[in-house]
Each structure stands twice: as structure tokens, then as C-alpha cells.
């Protein structure tokens, strides 16, 4: 899995909460900051809405990486959704690892509405990391 | 045994309980039986064999049918842990349940690789110490990532989607099962989509599974399901300090944030 296949373009699903990180992604766009087209943002109302099932389904359908983003602690519009998110992602990473899926394929990060630059940075960094990991072993 | 029978008889006769869920021996086979005031004679056939039944799963069906009645039930350590979880999840009211505790034998504890082979209160049998054995997890952990995936995909591909693992599990009490939700998993095909079918259930068991091992025993494809659930159970303890089946007043940290700080785990080993 180490060698990166020539021409491998990672498919990355980014779940973004409406209030912060999706707005951050939007801002990245209006600031004309470049982030890789590999990253497909999906808007949800709160990172707490990102059911662990969504993460599993993304991998099942061939995502090479899944990015879960929400508001910074203290900023969640539903008060504490992002704390639950963090807990879920922690357990999920370990479960993925246990069955042989590299836990680095799942990442959680907090991005404010004003942080268009952070969104672009995280998206770019993560895409490169996934590119280095190669295609998901679950890709059919 | 005679004491046990008398105890149950007294509770039924006095009306303390409306029914008692235990096992009877019928034509050489132990089967579950709901004793009532009208079937006291059946108590002669009461048995406590070295085999297991999903007692709390059956209890749940009884409670749903007779929600007002107080029911007695024979519980082993695992059943008792299940009672605690069912109460936490508001599936039963502890006030309406009278557990009659049975301690498991050393042989059973070893067979089940059980960490706590006894209930909170023991009415029958002698308490033996639990077995600490995580060799099933170690076996998987000794493999590198790609071998692990091969191993698990090989196991999962044997699945005939009988739902036996779910049906026997006392902790699978949801009204609508995610495993049958075709927006998440393609339904109507066997084997099911893998690994998602098994991983959804595994994640669900985090903060729920009480490690009785019945699912693995029921699986006709001999998939080592229990190690998946033991893994998340261990993670819940390591990262979030939460162990199921211990205390009715604790809350699952994946569902409840709690009020005394919500430390976020940082101990994530990604190597
Ligand atoms: S899992 Fe433990 S408590 Fe349950 S039957 Fe086995 S030894 Fe007894
Ligand atoms: S070991 Fe299996 S049957 Fe028992 S509680 Fe856990 S998932 Fe359910
Ligand atoms: S019991 Fe085994 S074969 Fe049946 S659905 Fe569960 S994992 Fe699949
Ligand atoms: S609203 Fe953004 S994480 Fe809850």
C-alpha cells in the first residue's frame, strides 16, 4: 500500500457542519483559496449529526479518506455536538484500525466560519496524506 | 435447589411477582419457561444447567407484553449486566424486576472467557473468579493492517445474513434496526455488503455490549464477532473510562456528554 499509484486521485468526503466548517469551506471559495477538487464537502447541520454510519458508508462506497469537521469547542451551535463527534471519531478510528483500515484515513478537525484559510489548508494536507497512503483497500 | 424452588414459589404465591422466567427440563432439553401462580407444579422441572439462554432478551418480550407486572428472572453474570444496561436505556424498570442470581461454574467461566461470571446478588451456586483473556484480540493485533483486513473480509464474506447475532443479543433492542436500513446498507442480498454490515453493528455495540458472547455462539458462519465488540468495549474503557453493565446510574458517553467536564480523549494511537 506504500507506493502511490501513478495517477491516483484520492476521493475524499468531507462532512462539514453548516455553521462553521461549511461556512469556512464557502469562505475558502469566495477568497479564491485553492483546495483540491478531491475533497467533496457534504453539509450537515452539526458535526454531531454525522452518524458513525455515514463514515462507514463513505468508506464502503470507496472513499479513500473521510474528513469530519465542525465548530471549535465552545462554538457548536447546538452547544456540545462536537464533543460527541470527537468521542465517536476516536472509537471509530480504533475500530477501523482493528479491522485493518488505516485510521489516518479518518480525520476530525475544527474549523470556524472565518477560517477559510484553515479549511483550504486542512483539505490540502489531508488530500496529500491520503495520496501518500494510496487507494483505500475497500475500493472496488 | 429446593431452596431456590421454594423462594420462587413463595414470591409467586404472595403476589410479589406475577411471573418467573427460568428454565425447565422438558424431554431432556432445558427450555425457557414463564412460571405463574397457575403453573407452580412445573417448578419441579426447574433446572439450572450449564448452558445459556438469552434470558434478558426473552424477558424484554415479556415486559413489553405485561409492562405493569413485576417479573422474576433467573440471571447469570452476563444477564445481570444486561439488566443494568436495559434499565439505563429505559427498556425495563428495575423496580419491576426481581433478579434471581446464579453464579457460573469455573468451567463455564473458562468456556465463556468471562471476566465476571457472577451477578450482583447470588442466590444459587458458588462465586468463582473471572477469566482475563484477550488472546482473541491479540491474535488480530499481531497482524499488520493488510493482513487484518484480509482476515476480516474473509470472515465477513462467510456471513449468510441470518441476523442471528442481532436476534440473540439482549442489547439489540432498537425498534428499527440499522442493519435493515437500505439507505445505509444494500438490503435484499446475501452475503450483505461487507465490511459495513459488521462494522455498523460493531460500532453500535460500543457502550452497549456486555460481552456475553452469545452472538458469536449463535453465528452459523463462525465469524469471531465477539472480538469486534470486545475491542470497542475495551476502547470505551481506555478512552472514555466507561464499562457497560456496572452501574445503572452511569450514562453512555457516546450518547450523553455528562455534566462534570467533557474531556476529549487525546490518546489516539495512529501508528
Ligand atoms: S458469560 Fe459469564 S456470566 Fe454469562 S454464562 Fe458465561 S460465564 Fe456465566
Ligand atoms: S457479546 Fe454479542 S450478544 Fe452479547 S451483548 Fe455483546 S454483542 Fe450482544
Ligand atoms: S449471525 Fe453470523 S451469519 Fe448471521 S448475520 Fe450475524 S454475522 Fe452474519
Ligand atoms: S454546529 Fe458546528 S459542530 Fe455543532
DSSP calls for A78-99: TSSHHHHHHHHHHHHHHHHHHT
Query: How does pLDDT run across B166-209, given as a tens digit for each residue?
Result: 999 999 999 899 999 989 998 888 889 999 999 999 999 999 99
Are residue B146 and residue B252 in the same domain, yes or no?
yes
Residue B86: CB within 6 Å of ligand 2? Answer: no
Q: Does the beta-carbon distance from B145 to A80 stay under 8 Å?
A: no
Residue B52 in any domain: the answer is: yes
Nearest CA-CA distance, residue B241 and chain A, Å: 12
Are residue B186 and residue B229 in the same domain, yes or no?
yes
3-state secondary structure of B193: coil
The shortest CB-CB distance from A53 to any of B150, B184, B270 is to B184
B146-159: average pLDDT: 97
Check if the interface score ipTM surpasses 0.90.
yes
Are residue B147 and residue B252 in the same domain, yes or no?
yes
Q: Does the beta-carbon distance from B265 to A103 stay under 8 Å?
A: no
Chain B residues lying within 8 Å of A95, measured CB to CB: 199, 202-203, 206, 228, 231-232, 235
Residue A43: CB within 6 Å of ligand 4? Answer: no
pLDDT on residue A75 = 86
Q: Does the beta-carbon distance from B265 to A102 stay under 8 Å?
A: no
Q: What tens-digit pLDDT sequence spans chain A (140 residues)? A: 444 456 899 999 999 999 888 888 888 888 888 889 999 999 999 999 999 999 999 999 999 999 999 999 888 888 888 889 999 999 999 999 999 999 999 999 999 989 999 999 999 999 999 999 999 999 97
Say yes or no to pLDDT of B228 above 70.
Answer: yes
Residue in chain A nearest B229 by alpha carbon: A95
Do the beta carbons of residue A106 and residue A130 sit within 8 Å?
no
Are residue B93 and residue B157 in the same domain, yes or no?
no
Residue B34: CB within 6 Å of ligand 2? Answer: no
pLDDT on residue B269 = 47
Residue B261 in any domain: the answer is: yes
Residue B226: CB within 6 Å of ligand 2? Answer: yes
pLDDT on residue B103 = 97
pLDDT on residue B145 = 97
Cα A34 to averaged position of ligand 4 atoms, centre (Å): 24
DSSP-derived secondary structure letter, B174: -
Domain that holds residue B211: 135-269
Are residue B139 and residue B265 in the same domain, yes or no?
yes
pLDDT on residue A23 = 84
Residue in chain A nearest B178 by alpha carbon: A53
pLDDT on residue A73 = 87
Are residue B155 and residue B224 in the same domain, yes or no?
yes
Query: How does pLDDT run across B66-80, given as a tens digit for each residue?
Result: 999 999 999 999 999
Strand B29-35 and strand B71-75: the pairing is unpaired
| Between B230 and B254, the higher pLDDT residue | B230
B interface test, pick of A55, A91, A96 with most B CB neighbours within 10 Å: A91
B248-257: average pLDDT: 86
Residue B213: CB within 6 Å of ligand 2? Answer: yes
pLDDT on residue A5 = 55
Are residue B93 and residue B217 in the same domain, yes or no?
no
Residue B119 in any domain: the answer is: no
Q: How far is CA B196 from CA A18, A95, A97, B235, in A?
A: 27, 12, 14, 19
If one residue of B214, B225, B243, B244 were mutated to test the ligand 2 pocket, choosing by the most ligand atoms within 8 A of its CB, it would be B214
Are residue B98 and residue B146 in the same domain, yes or no?
no
Q: pTM, whole model, 2 decimals? A: 0.92
pLDDT on residue B268 = 47
Reported as half-sphere exposure (CB side, CA atoms, 13 A), residue A46 has a value of 15
Residue B130 in any domain: the answer is: no
Gap between the Cα atoms of B37 and B40, Å rounded: 6
Are residue B170 and residue B88 in the same domain, yes or no?
no
Q: Does the beta-carbon distance from B228 to A91 stay under 8 Å?
A: no
Among the bound ligands, the one closest to the CA of B80: 1
Please state the domain count of chain B.
2
Are residue B29 and residue B108 in the same domain, yes or no?
yes
B10-28: average pLDDT: 96
pLDDT cut 90: percent of chain B above it: 85
Are residue B96 and residue B165 in the same domain, yes or no?
no
| Between B42 and B268, the higher pLDDT residue | B42
pLDDT on residue B262 = 58
The shortest CB-CB distance from B262 to any of A83, A101, A104 is to A83
pLDDT band at B266 (very low <50, low <70, confident <90, very high): low
3-state secondary structure of B135: helix
pLDDT on residue A109 = 94
> In the A/B pair of chains, how many CB contacts fall below 8 A?
97
B82 CB-near residues (< 8 Å, 6+ apart): B56, B75, B170, B171, B210, B212, B245
Picking from B114, B198, B113, B117, the residue whose alpha carbon sits closest to that of residue B164 is B198
Amino acid at each position: 500500500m506504500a507506493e502511490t499509484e501513478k495517477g491516483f486521485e484520492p476521493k475524499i468526503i468531507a462532512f462539514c457542519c453548516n455553521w462553521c466548517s461549511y461556512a469556512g469551506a464557502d469562505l475558502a471559495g469566495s477568497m479564491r483559496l485553492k483546495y483540491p477538487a478531491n475533497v467533496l464537502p457534504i453539509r450537515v447541520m452539526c458535526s454531531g449529526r454525522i452518524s458513525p454510519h455515514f463514515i462507514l458508508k463513505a468508506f464502503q462506497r470507496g472513499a479513500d479518506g473521510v474528513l469530519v469537521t465542525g465548530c471549535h469547542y465552545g462554538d457548536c451551535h447546538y452547544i456540545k455536538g462536537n464533543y460527541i463527534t470527537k468521542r465517536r471519531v476516536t472509537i471509530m478510528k480504533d475500530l477501523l484500525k482493528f479491522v485493518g483500515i488505516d485510521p489516518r484515513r479518518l480525520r476530525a478537525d475544527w474549523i470556524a466560519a472565518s477560517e477559510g484559510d484553515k479549511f483550504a489548508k486542512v483539505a490540502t494536507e489531508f488530500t496529500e496524506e491520503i495520496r501518500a497512503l494510496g487507494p483505500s483497500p475497500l475500493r472496488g | 435447589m429446593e431452596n431456590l424452588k421454594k423462594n420462587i414459589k413463595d414470591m409467586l404465591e404472595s403476589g410479589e411477582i406475577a411471573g418467573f422466567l427460568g428454565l425447565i427440563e422438558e424431554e431432556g432439553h432445558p427450555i425457557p419457561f414463564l412460571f405463574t401462580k397457575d403453573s407452580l407444579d412445573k417448578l419441579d422441572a426447574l433446572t439450572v444447567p450449564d448452558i445459556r439462554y438469552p434470558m434478558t432478551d426473552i424477558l424484554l418480550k415479556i415486559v413489553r407484553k405485561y409492562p405493569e407486572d413485576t417479573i422474576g428472572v433467573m440471571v447469570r453474570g452476563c444477564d445481570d449486566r444486561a439488566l443494568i444496561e436495559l434499565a439505563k436505556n429505559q427498556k425495563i424498570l428495575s423496580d419491576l424486576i426481581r433478579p434471581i442470581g446464579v453464579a457460573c461454574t469455573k468451567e463455564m467461566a473458562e468456556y465463556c472467557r468471562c471476566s465476571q461470571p457472577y451477578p450482583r446478588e447470588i442466590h444459587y451456586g458458588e462465586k468463582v473468579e473471572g477469566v482475563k483473556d484477550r488472546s482473541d484480540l491479540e491474535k488480530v493485533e499481531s497482524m499488520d493492517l493488510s493482513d487484518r483486513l484480509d482476515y476480516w473480509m474473509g470472515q465477513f464474506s462467510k456471513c449468510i445474513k441470518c441476523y442471528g447475532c442481532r436476534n440473540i443479543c439482549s442489547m439489540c433492542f432498537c425498534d428499527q434496526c440499522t442493519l435493515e436500513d437500505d439507505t445505509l446498507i444494500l438490503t435484499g442480498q446475501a452475503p450483505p455488503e461487507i465490511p459495513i454490515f459488521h462494522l455498523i453493528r460493531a460500532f453500535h455495540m460500543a457502550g452497549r455490549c456486555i460481552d456475553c458472547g452469545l452472538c458469536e455462539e449463535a453465528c452459523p458462519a463462525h465469524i469471531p464477532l465477539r472480538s469486534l465488540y470486545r475491542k470497542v468495549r475495551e476502547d470505551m474503557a481506555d478512552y472514555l473510562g466507561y464499562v457497560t453493565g456496572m452501574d445503572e446510574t452511569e450514562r453512555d458517553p457516546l450518547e450523553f456528554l455528562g455534566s462534570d467536564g467533557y474531556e476529549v480523549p487525546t490518546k489516539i494511537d495512529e501508528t
